[in-house]
Chains A and B, each alone.
Chain A
Amino acid sequence: DIQMTQSPSSLSASVGDRVTITCRASQSISSYLNWYQQKPGKAPKLLIYATSSLQSGVPSRFSGSGSGTDFTLIISSLQPEDFATYYCQQSYSTPGTFGQGTKLEIK
Chain B
Amino acid sequence: QITLKESGPTLVKPTQTLTLTCTFSGFSLTTNGVGVGWIRQPPGKALEWLALIYWNDDKRYSPSLKNRITITKDTSKNRVVLTMTNMDPVDTATYFCAHRQPTYDLDYWGQGTLVTVSS
Contact = CB atoms under 8 A, between A and B. Distances in A.
Specify the main secondary structure of chain A where it touches its partner: loop
B105 to A, nearest CB: 4
Contacts of A45: 109
B9 to A, nearest CB: 20
A94 B52 contact: yes
Contacts of A87: 46-47
B103 A50 contact: yes
Contacts of B112: 43
Interface string A51-93: 0010100000000000000000000000000000001010100
- Range of interface residues on B (Cβ < 8 Å): 20 to 34
A34 B105 contact: yes
Interface in B89-114: 96, 98, 103-107, 109-112
B56 interface: no
A32 B105 CA distance: 8
A46 B107 CA distance: 6
Contacts of A89: 47, 49, 105-106
A50 B46 CA distance: 21
Contacts of A34: 104-106
B47 A32 contact: no
A53 B49 contact: no
Given A43-B112, A94-B52, A99 B46 contact: yes
Interface of B: 37, 39, 46-50, 52, 60-63, 96, 98, 103-107, 109-112
Interface of A: 1, 32, 34, 36, 38, 42-46, 49-50, 53, 55, 87, 89, 91, 94-101
